Amino acid sequence: MKVTRRIALTLGAAALLATGCSGTGASGGSGITVGLAVSTLNNPFFVELQQGAQEMANQLGAKLTVVDAQNDATNQVNQVQTLVTQGVKAIILNPVDSKQAAPAAKAAEMANIPLISVDRAVEGGKVAAEVASNNVSGGSLAAIELGRATSGEVAHLKGISGASASRDRGQGFEQGLNSGNIKVVATAVADFDRAKALNETTNLLQGHPNIKGIFAENDEMALGAIKALGARAGKDVMVVGFDGTPDGLKAIQDGTLVATIAQQPKLLGSKAVEQAVKAAKGEPVQQVVDVEVKVITKQNVAEFIK
């Protein structure tokens, strides 16, 4: 999502708040089936998002049907089309690829089923509500934290190229680079995957043995980078992640991860279900629900340990 669109949508959300449509306190959803199409459940972040969605569905008395695309955009479109034929009353979509999700959005629109995007934007399709964190702001915060922790040459591990979250975090990171004395000398795409990040970081270190820092666009990639660095992690090379997963928090405690920009996946999931039930009942929804990001370091990590 472009920054200008984010600002416009945020202003729209503020206007809704001012008129009392806060998006909280959704009424009961008994008899309502909501479909949740997740990009992948092979990632602790999205497992927590699903848990938050299920908890809210239980609270509202709605039924939640979950499908896992396993990071396959084509598979996800097919899954959404199946949810449409099953007659769900609303669909929550966490797209594998923001642009490739357009046919899924179109299928929901043709069936008059409201679509809620969560964590990542849907481009080229009608969305009733968008539940997400400000990834641009989070990326800038990551650059600030990395600049505080080190100086010199750094590397940037990127997520799935077509995912809006990856583009926004990368954009924010670039915007925040002037906050410290760091310079990006190498980038690699590791698809938000720990094993791929291990391999990519190993390759990066061969070409840039003197890098002093790494920004990974999610904690899974940060943990892969940490494994590749071995004893250098947190000592010679500082790593900053994104998401605030349990494994990421443990790495901060251990001193191998300097910081993570924490989203609140359970809250993302619960807010998405809340808006989906409202939309299914024909009630007003909040066009944008912005879930706050938080910087977690060794100084405050204890506050986030469950």
State residue 5's pLDDT score. 36
State residue 305's pLDDT score. 85
- For the chain, the helix, strand and coil percentages under 3-state DSSP, each to the nearest 5: 45, 20, 35
Q: Coil, helix or strand for 181?
A: coil
Amino acid at 95: P
CATH number of 3-133+265-291: 3.40.50.2300
Is domain 135-262 classified as CATH 3.40.640.10?
no
Location of each CATH 3.40.50.2300 domain in the chain: 3-133+265-291, 135-262
State residue 29's pLDDT score. 77
- Contacts (Cβ under 8 Å, ≥6 apart) of 296: 244, 249, 252, 259, 260, 261, 262, 304
Phi, psi of 211 (to 5 degrees): -65, 150
State residue 200's pLDDT score. 98
**What torsion, rounded to 10 degrees, do the Cα atoms 84, 90, 93, 99 define?**
70
Other beta carbons less than 10 A from residue 124's beta carbon: 12
- Alpha carbon separation from 275 to 26, 33, 114, 243, 281 (Å, rounded): 8, 13, 10, 22, 10
Q: Indicate the pTM of the whole model.
A: 0.81
With a cut of 50, list the residues of the chain below it in pLDDT.
Answer: 1-25
Phi, psi of 298 (to 5 degrees): -65, -25
State residue 18's pLDDT score. 33
Whole-angstrom Cα distance, residue 65 to residue 133? 24
State residue 27's pLDDT score. 56
For 154-165, write each residue's pLDDT tens digit: 999 999 999 999
